[in-house]
A and B are shown apart, each in its own frame.
Chain A
Amino acid sequence: MSRVNTVLGPVAAAELGFVAVHEHIGYGMPGSELDTQWWKTPEQRYEETVPKLRRFAEYSRGYGGCTFVDATGICNGRDVDYYQSLSAKTGVHIVAATGFVGGDTALRFFAEASVDYLMRQFVHEITVGIGNTGGKAGIIKVGVSRGFRMKELDLRIYRAAARAALLTGVPIFTHLAVDVEPALAVFAEEGLPLDRVLFGHADDGVSQGKVNEKAILGGGGRIGFDTFGYDLELPDPPFWGRHRRERLEHFLRLIHEGHLDQVLASADANCSPLGWPGVKGHTVNYIYEQLIPDLRQEGIDEATIHRIFVENPADFLTLTTN
């Protein structure tokens, strides 16, 4: 039986439809909740979020549905009962993540935890639920701390994630694909096939020249072009932005080189950011409003688009134990 954990319960992979594989309902660094400059009323949060999800659902009608994978880790403002209400009211499937965006987003309690403890935390959130929401995580987030170097805590989280993935069948996605060698070593040691791992943000502006694509692709890993829309052409781009054309060409190159099965794409947008201003105008719907037209313009056919946004993510998200 093929199933994927969403916040409202398991669904068959065939029900996922069009998948935005790395997005955020709202992301904030741990501690940002203490700074009132970012606070929003619940009315404002729903007002900023619901129309984006509804539009995403409308755009996705032709695909038979849609799925929003939330990449917000533990301690980053992940808010599962809120996601449940959003999903129930908009019809968008929402997949929540367990894990951490990186070691530098794990608060002290987890920063001091063992691999075993972290694994149990992840497994619990995948098989029993997150907090007392009953919502189960469908994916594990891991990542590289600031500075482009894998830290000891980052690797402890990677190892715990690998073990939890093997036990439960959920996939892993990473924040950043830089300094990937230590991560590949951990996955190899733990025996996790690399097609269960999406190496994310391989497309961002600051990572270029630091991503060992050969090692990732050669090992069978999946590669994430998941910051589409953080374009340097924006009036106030974030520091990880990149020229739109350059990112697109990079993406097309991998497709043309025969890696279609290994690529995934997303926008990493915040519906309503929690602890930062966000990037004005950037939403999950960039995928429909800019990226897909760009791909069509470049001669990418509908079957390929289907592969990138429907088949590949369904394959990736399906609970898989060997």
Chain B
Amino acid sequence: MKVTSPTVNTVLGPVPADDLGVVSVHEALLSVVPGAEHAYDITLDRAEIFEILAKKLTDFRNAGGQTIVDSTGMFHGRDLRLYEALSRSTGVHIVASTGMGPEENLGGYFLTPQTNPPTPWPAERFADLFGKEVTEGMVVPRVERRGAAGLVATTATRGGMTPTDESLFRGAARAALATGVPVSIRYGVDAVTELQLVLDEGLPADRVVVGDLDRTEAVAAGWPTAVAERGAFVAVDHVGRNDDDAFIRDAERAALVAELVAAGQVDRVLLSSNAVGVAKGHPAYELPYAHVQTAFAPLLASHGVADGDIQQILVANPRALLTVR
């Protein structure tokens, strides 16, 4: 019997988990609001998009980054052939995600199907759709399947979960459970309750990363600690965002991480920036993918977080999350 070492699904195929290095788990490469590809005043110049992303990924690599996770799911501009070419030419591992959400990002196929009545898709069908993106490969719509998804990513509506959001969360959890890839959720109004939905599907908490936990309200509610205590990964994932009252600032983020480390939760923390490589149909968000390593890691050190803990957060934690089980 062949002994197989643990791997992570990248767009170029499975990669030994130990090769990932420094990982940014919640980023966007090409981000396209659903429908914007048809807009009369938006152009998608593939050569230009490639050039911009290649530059950003190269800068990330030069700053010590080795793996980027595009956590935008299957219907927000994901372009697998572009990502494959980018990974080959920059040497950065790219993990692409399946999943969709929140409801407003879905097409009518899932919300008002051609049935009478037009009942929205239940969790089971989303589980099947997302699961096949892992077991059979991610889709290039109506053309072909490519490599396996490395993550199932979904998001709840900011005003509160809709029934379809709940189906997406449950479907994502079932797909993850069946295939061994992790789940990323970005909460809507209540991180802990929404996390519980995916845990109720039987998914172990250490297969889940909860995003948006550096929102001001999340920190005020104590959700980063609550999520860590339940055993899920806490994503402090807007590092670098310092001009938006809906989020805490980097200094507070550093204090939050230091607090989690002090509480013995260093193995639950993930850092990322939600930077957008190329934005189409929504405002650009220009932030280097390397911001966490270049600017935030030193800040953590100044908050007394030990180098070994910082390495754990940047390397070992995302590796544990992304390793296919």
Contact = CB atoms under 8 A, between A and B. Distances in A.
A49 B75 CA distance: 28
Contact of B109 (A29, A108, A109, A120): A29
Contacts of B91: none
Given A105-B108, A108-B105, A111-B104, A34 B114 contact: no
Interface string A106-149: 11111100000000110011001001000000000000011100
Q: Is the interface of B mostly helix, strand, loop or mixed?
A: loop
B197 interface: no
Interface in A176-196: none
A239 interface: yes
Nearest to A74: B38
A275 interface: yes
7 contacts: A31-B75, A31-B107, A33-B142, A120-B40, A128-B40, A239-B116, A275-B114
A147 B107 CA distance: 17
A32 B107 contact: yes
Given A36-B145, A108-B33, A108-B34, A29 B108 contact: yes
B141 interface: yes
A121 B107 contact: no
Interface in B32-83: 33-36, 38-41, 74-75
A28 B107 CA distance: 11
Given A33-B142, A239-B115, 5 more contacts: A30-B34, A31-B108, A104-B111, A106-B35, A108-B104
B40 A121 contact: yes
Given A74-B38, A108-B104, A121-B40, A35 B114 contact: no
Interface residues of A, number: 36
B316 to A, nearest CB: 34
A29 B118 CA distance: 12
A231 to B, nearest CB: 17
A29 B75 contact: no
Given A34-B74, A108-B104, A146-B118, A29 B113 contact: yes
A206 B107 CA distance: 24
B39 A34 contact: no
B291 interface: no
Pairs of residues from A and B, 6 with the lowest C-beta to C-beta distance, nearest first: A31-B107, A107-B35, A30-B107, A109-B35, A31-B109, A33-B141
A288 interface: no
Given A28-B109, A32-B109, A121-B40, A109 B142 contact: no
Interface in A160-182: none
B139 A34 contact: yes
Interface of A: 28-36, 39-40, 74-75, 104-111, 120-121, 124-125, 128, 131, 145-147, 206, 238-239, 274-276
B129 A35 contact: yes
B88 to A, nearest CB: 25
B163 interface: no
Nearest to B33: A109
B105 A29 contact: no
Nearest to B104: A108
Interface string B93-106: 00000000000111
A35 B118 contact: no
B32 to A, nearest CB: 8
Nearest to A125: B40
B30 to A, nearest CB: 15
B36 A109 contact: yes
A39 B104 CA distance: 25
A311 to B, nearest CB: 33
B154 to A, nearest CB: 14
Interface in B120-163: 129, 132, 136, 139, 141-142, 145
Contacts of A39: 142
B296 interface: no
A75 B108 CA distance: 10
* Most central of B109, B112, B145 by chain A CB within 10 Å: B109
Nearest to B117: A146
Contact of A109 (B34, B136, B139): B34
Contacts of A146: 112, 117-118
Contacts of B136: 36
A145 B109 contact: no
A206 B115 CA distance: 12
Contacts of B104: 108, 111
Contacts of A238: 114
B264 interface: no
B108 A109 contact: no
Nearest to B137: A36
A238 B105 CA distance: 28
A275 B115 CA distance: 12
Nearest to B145: A36
Given A104-B111, A104-B112, A111-B104, A34 B129 contact: yes
Nearest to A240: B116
A29 B129 contact: no
Contacts of A29: 107-109, 112-114
A260 to B, nearest CB: 33
